[in-house]
Structure 1
């Protein structure tokens, strides 16, 4: 087999042959093999995973395969984030799914979507035509916090799990932005004008209907409040009022904020490699 700087699609036997060379004593050979395997793209990942599970494989080679698969996942994820940012920012669910894929690369978006549909169905069963906005919010709060028993993750506020939306849905716990995302996704399905508001050190929601506007705090079980409360909050934080603190933010801002939270969570946990990888993804949003 001729080693080249670039490879084309190869079958499983070719890949296995390349894997066998990962413990070669020639550093240059190993480097070219690693590059060639990376160039094979996402389709090669399942084969590399199976090879990694081979019990007779050299532990050094197993570690190299593990690192290779991780690097390939990260490269694919970076590309997917770039596509989302440039073409698909109206789809918040996909943005949340991509963040979860950092930790759970095999996660299917349908897994998250089905969970949202289950909650949506329970809300739909409790609603009627032409309900007052306040009554709609009451139903949302009842279903989310009483029926499905979601709660603010106060104990582990800075846990990375708060940024993994699949874990938020599974564990029924989240930080302000995670719980707000749940509201936003449900609101989209129910045609409700509920959007995110990117406050300093807090993330809340706005119910923004012409002639009728108020705010919600999902981290306080959907508590309703008004614009003056934001005035008081900013004053308490010694922050100058700004128009953006009273208006809805974009999905891009939401995803950027979650990634920023995740980077901080990994820093706090001492996982520097993960922090740097998330920061690399964040460069797409700068």
Structure 2
């Protein structure tokens, strides 16, 4: 953005010790939109004062966050918000300059490698084994327990880069590939877990399950490892946690709810006083997705 007299005046006031003055200046800079970010970055590079640099960094973050909020609103308003698009928006919270095209290329390579091994004669379990074998054995995807001191484990771009994620991020990658390959696997909201289920549906034609969706589930998949387990295993789990297995726990989670869950869990990585503002921002994004 061309540096006008107003922008120059605003920049001279960034170091003002009066909080009210700085707040007014900040709001005006934010109102100018993301086009002003290169100007702020240049100011940061030419400013020796670390305290002023921190203020500039926060202004840049706020500008990116405002843009991200608008992106989430547009994503939610789509007739059928796609899971990959939502997951990439979450990545942009930490990586606003994310190279989306590189990620799309990586996922397309994965999809093609799996597709080459699939055919119409495979059973649901054989289909799932193909996907699981390529993802966890060929690509060496690893799963780790949810650890809120490891925020990267929640982000799809880092999962693709490091081949390591938790149940939620690995599960989202698994679901994205299933969507691209017309495999009827969906996430189900079993308490304290992020579990995938293979639904008995016509390939390429997804219909919401009947009143008791449990009867349409053929088996379950743990996205940490790709391990398959049965309804009996799930029933045992419900007995162990002393929760009755009602039909609502077996109804597929919609895309918006999955991304909302990701935002809620990701926000728990930022509970320190220093990062508390990030937790607040992520929870605001999650609330934005309320239906």
TM-score, scaled to structure 1: 0.86
SS of the counterpart of 2:119? coil
1:174 corresponds in structure 2 to: 165
Q: 1:5-154 counterparts in 2 under 5 A?
A: 11-14=2-5, 15-24=7-16, 30-54=22-46, 56-87=47-78, 89-154=80-145
Asked if the contact 1:141–1:222 (Cα under 8 Å) also holds between the matched residues in 2, the reply is yes
Deviation sequence 1:137-176 (CA, Å, 0-9, x none): 1111110111000011138476211221111111111111
Deviation sequence 1:236-270 (CA, Å, 0-9, x none): 11112221212211011111111111122223897
Detail structure 1 runs of 4+ shifted over 6 Å in the superposition: none
Structure 1: 5+ residue stretches without partners:
1-9
1:222 corresponds in structure 2 to: 226
Distance change >3 Å, CA 85–CA 264, structure 1 → 2 = same
Deviates more, 1:259-268 or 1:150-159: 150-159
Deviates more, 1:239-248 or 1:140-149: 239-248
2:196 matched to 1:205? yes
Deviates more, 1:211-220 or 1:95-104: 211-220
Deviation sequence 1:98-156 (CA, Å, 0-9, x none): 11111111113323212211111211222234322221111111101110000111384
TM-score, scaled to structure 2: 0.85
Structure 2: 5+ residue stretches without partners:
203-215
2:239 corresponds in structure 1 to: 235
RMSD across aligned C-alpha pairs, in angstroms?
Answer: 2.5
Distance change >3 Å, CA 145–CA 229, structure 1 → 2 = same
Deviation at 1:29, TM superposition (A): 5.0
Asked if the contact 1:89–1:95 (Cα under 8 Å) also holds between the matched residues in 2, the reply is no
**d(CA) in 1 for partners of 2:22, 2:267:** 32
